[in-house]
Structure 1
Amino acid sequence: MSLFKARDWWSTILGEKEEFDQGCLCVANVDNSGSGQDKIIVGSHMGYLRIFNPHPVKPEEGVRPEDLLLEVQLREPILQVEVGKFVSGTEGLHLAVLHCRKLCVYAVSGTLGNVEHGNQYQIKLMYEHNLQRTACNMTYGPFGGVKGRDLICIQSMDGMLMLFEQESYAFGRFLPGFLLPGPLTYSSRTDSFITVSSCRQVESYKYQVLAFATDADERQETEQQKHSSGKRLAVDWVLNIGEQALDICVVSFNQAVSSVFVLGERNFFCLKDNGQIRFMKKLDYSPSCFIPYCSVKEGTINTLIGNHSKTLNVYQDVTLKWATQLPHIPVSVKVANL
C-alpha cells in the first residue's frame, strides 16, 4: 500500500461497461497539427474510437467538452490502435485500427470553426485489408530498412505473420512450433520481429529471413522444390524466460543502451539486441502493463509498471524509485507530451 496517490492532471470516464485491453491506447500527434502536441487515441472492444486533446482542469471544472475531438463507432471490436506513416506518397501520420478480421487505415483531420469550440474533426478511410485469419495483435516499422514509410505486421490467432506494404498485402509466414499468440514487437536496429512463444521463450526472427522463407501455403511440395524455392523459417536467437509474457517493448534513447524489455508474469527482463540478459528484476506483485521511457540519468532507463493492486511503480533500471496508488487497475500505460 502506497502513501502516495497519483494526482490526476486530467481524466475522463469512457462509456458504460466498455472493455479495453493493452492495445487499445495510443499516444501520437495523429492529426499532424503544427504544435506537435500528442493526442490520446482510445479504442474499445465495443467498437468505439475516441480521440482526446486533454487540457489541465481545475477540480471544480471537470472535463471540457472540446477535449473530446472525435467519437465514432466502427461497428466491430477494436483490438489495437497504432499511428504511423501508413499511406504511400505522404510522410504524414495516419491511424491504423485492427479489428478481428479487418485492418483499416484512417486519416484524421480537423477543420477550424468560427467559434472557440467549433473545430470539427473527422476520420477518412484511406484503405482497408480484409484478413483471411482472425487477428491477435500487430506491430509496425520500416521493415527491411525502407525510408519514410511504415509497414504493418499482423499476428493471427493461429500463428501466421501477415505483412502489409501499405495498400498491398506482401506475404504471410507461419511461426514454427506455434501454439498460442504472444506479444509482438519490431526492432528497427536489428530489422527483426521479437515475440514470446508459448514455450515461454523470447524469439527473434529477421525480416529478411521471413521474406525469403518458403510461403505459408506451399508446405506440401516435394523435397526437390523445397531446396530451390526457399528455406524454412529459422529463428535468429532464443532466450528461455520460463514464464508467459504480458508485453514486450524495444527502446532506444540517445543516452541509453538500446534494449528489449519483456514484462513477464513475475519478472521484468531487459535484454540486449542479441538476446543476452542485461538485467532482470523479480516482482513481488502481479503486473498488468508497463512502458519504458527516457531517464534523466545517463545510461539508465526508467520503466513504469502497473499492477493488479492498483499501484504504479517507477523503476530506474532495477531500482524502485517511486510507487503511487491509482484509483483503478491499469490495463495500459503510455508516456505523452501534452
Structure 2
Amino acid sequence: MSIFKIKQWWSNKKLLDDNNNEGFQNANSIKVERFDCHSDSDTIIVGDGSIIRIYKPYVEQNASNIIIESQLNDIILQVGTGKFTMDAHDRQIIVLHPKSFAVYCLDRKEGHIDLGDQNSLRSVIKHSFTRRACSLIAGPFGSSKSRDYICIQYLDGSLCFFDQDTFLFMCIYNDIIIPGPVCYVPSSDLFLICKSTWILETYSYQQLGEFSELSVKTGKKNIPQWTYNPGEEILSLQVIRTSSNFSSIIALGERHLYCFQDNGLMKYMIRFDYVPTCFHAYLIGWYYEPNSRLLIMVASEDSKLNVYESSTLLWSCDLLDKAISLSRCYVRNLSGGVVSLSVNGIVNIGYLGTEPDLNASGANMHEVVDPEQIQNELKDVEESLEMILGSKEDANEGSSTIEKILHIKVDIGKPVNSNYKFSNDQELNTSSVVTILTCEEPNLIESIQITYNYHEPIVCTENTICLENINGTEIIETGVYIDGDMDVYDTRVSIVFTVIDSTGKISIISKEVQLPVSLFCSPVDAVPKNNAILSVICNQSFDVADIFSDFTKEELNNYVTSNSITFAYRTSNKTVTIKAVEKSYVFEADDYCDIYPIFVCFLYHFNNHCIRHDIKDIQANIEITADLNRNVTMRFLKCIENHAKQRNLLKTYENELNILQKQFTLVQKRLLVQYGSVPPGDCASLEFLMRDTHERIVNVAKQTLVHKNNVCSAGNSLCAVGHLVIYILKQMAPDDFKVKLIEEMLSLDTISKQFQEWEESVFQASSYFIKNVLKKSDKDNEKLAPVTDQDILSNNNLKKFIKQIRIILERVFKDVTGKEAITRIEELVEVI
C-alpha cells in the first residue's frame, strides 16, 4: 500500500504553554459544529485549560481564524453541542467542568463599516454537583422531539441525568472501577456502556430510569439488552446513522475495530498491525440512500492515517503530528476537510490532496497549467511583498517615535550574598536588574511588556512583566541569580520591551545588560597548570585588578600575584587564570569552554575602563596562531560529538520511560479486570509486576532528568566554543560576508534549555554552504550527503556532519592564511 502525505490547509497556533511538558491528552476537548449564525462553514470549538476558543478557518491569510476566545472559571473537561432549551433556534455549546456544567449560546452581531462582526458567548444554563465528573453525553433521550437531555458520567462510573439544570435520576454501577466510554444511539434510544471488566453492555433509556431507584432499594441488577466481550479495553465509541432502520456502532479497541448494528449484530471486525490512537466514522451520501458508504478514519501511534471501507483499507497517508482526535469539517472552498488534534495541542485541517495510482501500468496524467493564471499569481505575490515591505517601513517609523517619547535605562547592582549555598559550599549571590522607564507623554502608550531572556544556569526572578498604566516614570527591579551546577555560557541578560501605543501599533525595543563577574565567579589561589591558552594583545598595559571593577581591591589583594589572578566558577569550581604579560593578557584554563565567559567579561570591562579614564585608540585582539586554530576547532568538533552523544542517551531513557509507562498502564488494566471479576482472580503476580514497574519508572525518570541537565550543559559548552571560533574568524577573515554566513549557518543562539535540536537544523545549512559557497564537486557532495532513512544523530550522519563542519572551517582558515591551518583533525575526533 502506498503512503501519501496529507496536505495541510490550515493550522492554529500552539495551544499549550512551552513549559507544559505533559502534552495535550484530552480528546473530548474539541468539537466541530455548524451554527446558524455561521452557516457558511463549520466552526471548531477547542477547550484549552480554562480557555474556550472557537475557530472559523478562512482561505485568506490576512483574515483572523479565531472568532472568539473566552476565559472560563474552571478547567474544561469536554465540549459539546445540542439544543438544551425549549426556545433554542440554534445549537448551543455545553462545557463540562470537574464539578459543574454550563450551556452557552454563540451570538453574532454584524458590524458596521470597518468594525467587523462581533461574537460573544451568552450563558444560558449553569449547574453544579458534588461528585467529580468524567465525561458528558447529550442527546434526545427517550426519543424527545423538543430538546436534548444531559447525562454526566462521574469518576465512580455512575450516570446522572439532567433536563436543563433539573436532576432526573442516577444509575450506579458496582462493576465500574474506572469509567469508560459511553455513547447514545438516538435511533433506538439505547445507551452503550463500557465496563471495567472489558464488557460492552446496552441498556435502553427506559431501563435506566426504571432500575435507577429499584437497584438501590432491592439490590437487583439491571439486565442489559445485549452484551459483547471484546477481550480488550475499548478506547472510544461512535454512533452513526447508516440506514432508515438501523444505526452503526463503531468501537475502537487496543488492537481491533468493531462495527455493530444497534441490535447487537456484528457487521465486521478489523485487526490492526499497528497501535491505534483515535478514529472517526463518516458517511458519504445520505443514510436513506441505498448507495451510501460508511468510511472510517483511524490514526496510529506512528502518525499515520488509514481510511477503511468495511474491512478494506482504501487509503494510507502521513499526518503532521500524532493525533488524539479526528473529525471532518466543511469550510469555505474545502468540502470534507480532515480535522486532527495533536498531542501538542495543535489543530490541523488538511485534505487528501493526492490521488493514489491504483493502476501502476497506466500512463501518468499531468494537469494542464494556464500561463496567464501563473502570471496573475506571481503578480499577486509581488504586490503582497510590496505591502509587507511597506508595513516594515511604517513599523520602523513607529519605533523611532516610541523611542523619542520613552526613555529606557537599564542597570545592574552589585551582587549580595544570600543564605543559600551550593553543594560545593559556594555562596549564592543575587544581583538586581533595575529598569527605569521615563515617558514624556504617558497618554500615547497603552501598555508595555518587559521580557527577560537568559541562559541557564542564570535565572531571573521574573520572566515577564506587564505594565498597563504608565505614570511618567516607572522603576522595575528584578533579581538575577545562579541556579544549579551547569557550566556558565552567556553572561548577559537580554531585555525586550514590547510597547503598544494608543493606536494599537506594536514597537520592539531591546536592551542588554552584562552580569557582574562576582555573580558567577570568585577569586581563588592560582592553579599551577592549565591546558587551554588564549592570548589577547593590547597596545597598552593595565593592572588586572583595575579592569575587573566588580571586585574591590581589598577583595583581590590576597589573590593577585605577579599581576595575575585566578577566578573559579561558583557552580563547578572550574578555574580561569588571567596573566598580564607586558601588553598582552593570557587566559589559561583546562578547557576553552571555561575561557569564553571570562573572556567576554574581560572585553566588556576593558572597554569600560578605557571609557572611564578617557583612553582612546585602544585595541585588544586575540593572538592567532596555527596551534590556537587547530585546538579551538578540534574542541568545537568534540563538543558537537559530546552534545550528540548526550542527546542519544537522553533519547534512550525517554524511550524506555515511554515503554514502562505503557507497561504500567497495561498491568493496571489487567489488574482491574481481575479485581472486577466474580469471584476475584489471583492478583499477586500482577501486583508484584505493577510495583516493580513503578519502581523502574521512578528510577528511569530520575535518570532522564539527570541526562536532560547533561544535554543542556553540553549545549552550553558547544555554544561557548562555537562563539569563540566565530570571534577568531571575524578577526582573521577579510571576507565579512562569508563569516556572517558561517555565523548564521551555526545558529548558536538558537540553543536553549527547551530547544536542543541543533544538529538537525545546522546539517542542512552546512550542506548548502558546502555546495553553493565552497562549490564542492558533485562527487564530494554525494559523499557528504545525509542518509535519508536514518536519524541525524545516527553514527553515519553524525560522521558526515562533523566532517562538513571540519571542511568549512579548514577552507575558511586556509583562505585567510594561505596554507593548511588545520591538519588531521578528523583523526582526533572519535565519533560515537
Give the TM-score, by structure 2 length. 0.37
Is 1:43 aligned with 2:47? yes
Give the corresponding residue for 2:181: 183
Is 1:335 aligned with 2:338? no
Report if aligned partners of 2:169, 2:212 keep a CA contact under 8 Å in 1. no
The whole-number CA distance in structure 1 between the counterparts of 2:174 and 2:183 is 17
Residues 311-332 of structure 1 show CA distances to partners (whole Å, capped at 9, x for unaligned) of: 1111111111111111101111
Amino acid at match of 1:48: I
Deviation of residue 117 (structure 1)? Answer: 6.2
Is 1:33 aligned with 2:37? yes
The whole-number CA distance in structure 1 between the counterparts of 2:211 and 2:87 is 29
Residues 200-234 of structure 1 show CA distances to partners (whole Å, capped at 9, x for unaligned) of: 11111110011111428x83x5xxxx49xxx6433
Deviation of residue 180 (structure 1)? Answer: 1.2
Amino acid at match of 1:7: K
Report if aligned partners of 2:172, 2:212 keep a CA contact under 8 Å in 1. no
The whole-number CA distance in structure 1 between the counterparts of 2:203 and 2:110 is 46
The whole-number CA distance in structure 1 between the counterparts of 2:114 and 2:72 is 28
* Larger gyration radius, structure 1 or structure 2: 2
Give the corresponding residue for 2:294: 301
Deviation of residue 167 (structure 1)? Answer: 2.9
Residues 248 and 214 of structure 1: CA distance in aligned 2, closer, same or farther (over 3 Å): closer
**Relative to structure 2, which stretch is displaced further, 193-202 or 239-248?**
193-202
Give the corresponding residue for 2:55: 52
Which of 302, 305, 316 is residue 323 of structure 1 equivalent to? 316
Residues 77 and 175 of structure 1: CA distance in aligned 2, closer, same or farther (over 3 Å): same
Deviation of residue 77 (structure 1)? Answer: 1.7
- Spell out the pairing of 1:92-241 with structure 2 (5 A cutoff): 92-115=90-113, 118-215=116-213, 219=216, 221=217, 226=218, 232-241=221-230
Q: Secondary structure at the match of 1:10?
A: strand
Residues 66-109 of structure 1 show CA distances to partners (whole Å, capped at 9, x for unaligned) of: 22000112132211111110123324210000111111100111
The whole-number CA distance in structure 2 between the counterparts of 1:2 and 1:112 is 48
Give the corresponding residue for 1:290: 279
Residues 160-202 of structure 1 show CA distances to partners (whole Å, capped at 9, x for unaligned) of: 1010112312111113422111111100122111121111111
Q: Secondary structure at the match of 1:298?
A: coil
Residues 214 and 167 of structure 1: CA distance in aligned 2, closer, same or farther (over 3 Å): closer
Give the corresponding residue for 1:277: 266
Deviation of residue 124 (structure 1)? Answer: 1.1
The whole-number CA distance in structure 2 between the counterparts of 1:254 and 1:174 is 33
Amino acid at match of 2:51: Y
Give the corresponding residue for 1:313: 306
Report if aligned partners of 2:31, 2:45 keep a CA contact under 8 Å in 1. yes
Which of 221, 236, 240 is residue 251 of structure 1 equivalent to? 240
Which of 254, 267, 289 is residue 265 of structure 1 equivalent to? 254
Report if aligned partners of 1:153, 1:163 keep a CA contact under 8 Å in 2. yes
Residues 205 and 175 of structure 1: CA distance in aligned 2, closer, same or farther (over 3 Å): farther
Amino acid at match of 1:305: V
The whole-number CA distance in structure 2 between the counterparts of 1:320 and 1:236 is 32
Residues 305 and 116 of structure 1: CA distance in aligned 2, closer, same or farther (over 3 Å): farther
Residues 25-67 of structure 1 show CA distances to partners (whole Å, capped at 9, x for unaligned) of: 111124x2263532111112x111100111125xxx4xx4522
Residues 103-130 of structure 1 show CA distances to partners (whole Å, capped at 9, x for unaligned) of: 1100111111124562111101111111
Residues 65 and 15 of structure 1: CA distance in aligned 2, closer, same or farther (over 3 Å): farther
The whole-number CA distance in structure 1 between the counterparts of 2:115 and 2:45 is 19
Deviation of residue 289 (structure 1)? Answer: 0.9
Q: Secondary structure at the match of 1:251?
A: strand
Report if aligned partners of 2:240, 2:249 keep a CA contact under 8 Å in 1. yes
Give the corresponding residue for 2:643: none
Deviation of residue 2 (structure 1)? Answer: 6.3
CA RMSD of aligned residues (A): 2.3
The structure carrying a bigger helix percent of its residues is: 2
Residues 325 and 255 of structure 1: CA distance in aligned 2, closer, same or farther (over 3 Å): farther
The whole-number CA distance in structure 2 between the counterparts of 1:93 and 1:40 is 14
Deviation of residue 273 (structure 1)? Answer: 1.2
Is 1:21 aligned with 2:38? no
The whole-number CA distance in structure 2 between the counterparts of 1:154 and 1:178 is 15
The whole-number CA distance in structure 2 between the counterparts of 1:268 and 1:325 is 20
Deviation of residue 254 (structure 1)? Answer: 4.7
Is 1:68 aligned with 2:59? no
Q: Secondary structure at the match of 1:203?
A: strand
Amino acid at match of 2:57: P
Deviation of residue 337 (structure 1)? Answer: 1.9
Report if aligned partners of 1:52, 1:70 keep a CA contact under 8 Å in 2. yes
The whole-number CA distance in structure 1 between the counterparts of 2:276 and 2:188 is 28
The whole-number CA distance in structure 2 between the counterparts of 1:310 and 1:285 is 11
Q: Secondary structure at the match of 1:33?
A: helix
Report if aligned partners of 1:91, 1:148 keep a CA contact under 8 Å in 2. no
The whole-number CA distance in structure 1 between the counterparts of 2:323 and 2:249 is 22
Residues 110 and 20 of structure 1: CA distance in aligned 2, closer, same or farther (over 3 Å): farther
Q: Secondary structure at the match of 2:145?
A: coil
Q: Secondary structure at the match of 1:333?
A: strand
Residues 51 and 286 of structure 1: CA distance in aligned 2, closer, same or farther (over 3 Å): same
Residues 324 and 194 of structure 1: CA distance in aligned 2, closer, same or farther (over 3 Å): same
The whole-number CA distance in structure 1 between the counterparts of 2:66 and 2:310 is 36
The whole-number CA distance in structure 1 between the counterparts of 2:14 and 2:246 is 38
The whole-number CA distance in structure 1 between the counterparts of 2:224 and 2:245 is 27
Which structure carries more relative contact order (alpha carbon 8 Å, separation 6+)?
1
The whole-number CA distance in structure 2 between the counterparts of 1:145 and 1:265 is 33
Report if aligned partners of 1:256, 1:301 keep a CA contact under 8 Å in 2. no
The structure carrying a bigger strand percent of its residues is: 1
Is 1:80 aligned with 2:84? no
**Relative to structure 2, which stretch is displaced further, 249-258 or 304-313?**
249-258
The whole-number CA distance in structure 1 between the counterparts of 2:212 and 2:171 is 8
Report if aligned partners of 1:82, 1:97 keep a CA contact under 8 Å in 2. yes
Amino acid at match of 2:46: V
Amino acid at match of 2:41: Q
Residues 315 and 109 of structure 1: CA distance in aligned 2, closer, same or farther (over 3 Å): same
Report if aligned partners of 2:92, 2:105 keep a CA contact under 8 Å in 1. yes
Deviation of residue 253 (structure 1)? Answer: 3.3
Report if aligned partners of 2:82, 2:92 keep a CA contact under 8 Å in 1. yes
Residues 232 and 14 of structure 1: CA distance in aligned 2, closer, same or farther (over 3 Å): same
The whole-number CA distance in structure 2 between the counterparts of 1:134 and 1:302 is 36
